[in-house]
């Protein structure tokens, strides 16, 4: 049997990172971890408990009360994130969270907390993790690093379709502004900004189907596992 590797997928918001990561994990029998969901869960906790982002001692205290766990749901065929034993999968996709999450993800203590959890999850390899700093900070030695991009118009359309299905009041303009704002904050923050790792391969999926991008990524994974 070939050795297990770590696959790190980074890129801008709504590039289809989680779709690809989930499919790769399924095909390779690997664990899938959505690091963005962790930042979203922390944001949800901060909003619910009115934690002021600028008060570092309160931020630290709040982080001490947060327990995050991914649990595989056999019926859903995917991992669900639990925040202090509560399934918060639906709550964290809300626009209210999308509007605040990038700001929360700039806080040093929040990043240290999330990165430590993420590194723990990768100890035994055999994991696909997607996010913004996975190939650069979380797993700088990942065997396969993929940096995903897609045209902004295509990303807006994809995200709009997803959000419209649960909230018909949403507008294209709102979605576009949110993606642009998050891309800006994520790329310009001081700690672990979104960057392509030097040894990452670029996957521009603007004109690729899901099946095509999966085929490409599986081939890359095969090449790396053969070497591992």
- Residue 131: both structure tokens together: 């996010």
Least separation, in Å, of the C-beta of 171 and ligand DC? 19
Distance (Å, whole) CA 87 – CA 80: 7
Least separation, in Å, of the C-beta of 2 and ligand DC? 27
Report the residue from 16, 175, 186, 221 that binds ligand DC according to the rule CB under 6 A: 186
Least separation, in Å, of the C-beta of 40 and ligand DC? 6
Interface stretch with ligand DC, choices 125-133, 141-149, 196-204, 214-222 (CB under 6 A):
125-133
Return the closest-CA partner of residue 42 out of 71, 72, 62, 15. 62
Helices and strands, counts by H and E, the chain: 8, 8
Q: Of the two residues 28 and 102, which places its CB atom closer to ligand DC in the complex? A: 102
Interface stretch with ligand DC, choices 20-28, 53-61, 101-109, 157-165 (CB under 6 A):
101-109
Distance (Å, whole) CA 191 – CA 188: 9
CB pairs under 8 A, 24+ apart, for 149-153? 149/11, 149/12, 149/15, 149/202, 149/203, 149/204, 149/205, 149/206, 150/12, 150/14, 150/15, 150/16, 150/204, 150/205, 150/206, 151/206, 152/176, 152/179, 152/180
Q: Of the two residues 103 and 204, which places its CB atom closer to ligand DC in the complex? A: 103
Report the residue from 5, 6, 12, 13 that binds ligand DC according to the rule CB under 6 A: 13
Least separation, in Å, of the C-beta of 193 and ligand DC? 9
Q: x/- contact string, 164-183, with ligand DC (CB under 6 A)? A: ------------------x-
Least separation, in Å, of the C-beta of 228 and ligand DC? 23
Judged by the rule CB under 6 A, the positions of this chain that interact with ligand DC are 13, 35-36, 39-40, 101-102, 105, 131-134, 182, 186
């Amino acid at each position: 049997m070939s050795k297990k590797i770590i696959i790190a997928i980074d890129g801008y918001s709504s590039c289809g990172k989680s779709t690809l990561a989930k499919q790769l994990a399924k095909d390779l029998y690997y664990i899938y971890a959505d690091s963005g969901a962790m930042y979203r869960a922390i944001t949800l906790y901060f909003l619910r408990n009115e934690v002021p982002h600028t008060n570092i001692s309160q931020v630290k205290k709040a982080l001490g009360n947060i327990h995050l766990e991914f649990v595989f749901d056999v019926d859903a065929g995917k991992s669900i994130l639990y925040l202090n034993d509560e399934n918060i999968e639906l709550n964290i996709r809300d626009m209210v969270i999308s509007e605040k999450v990038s700001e929360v993800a700039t806080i040093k203590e929040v990043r240290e907390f999330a990165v430590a959890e993420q590194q723990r999850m990768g100890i035994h390899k055999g994991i696909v993790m997607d996010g913004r700093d996975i190939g650069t900070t979380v797993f700088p030695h990942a065997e396969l690093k993929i940096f995903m991009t897609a045209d902004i118009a295509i990303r807006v359309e994809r995200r709009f379709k997803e959000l419209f299905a649960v909230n018909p009041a949403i507008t294209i303009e709102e979605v576009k502004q949110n993606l642009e704002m998050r891309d800006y904050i994520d790329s310009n923050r001081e700690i672990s900004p979104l960057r392509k790792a030097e040894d990452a391969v670029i996957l521009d999926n603007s004109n690729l189907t899901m099946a095509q991008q999966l085929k490409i990524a599986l081939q890359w994974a095969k090449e790396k596992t053969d070497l591992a």
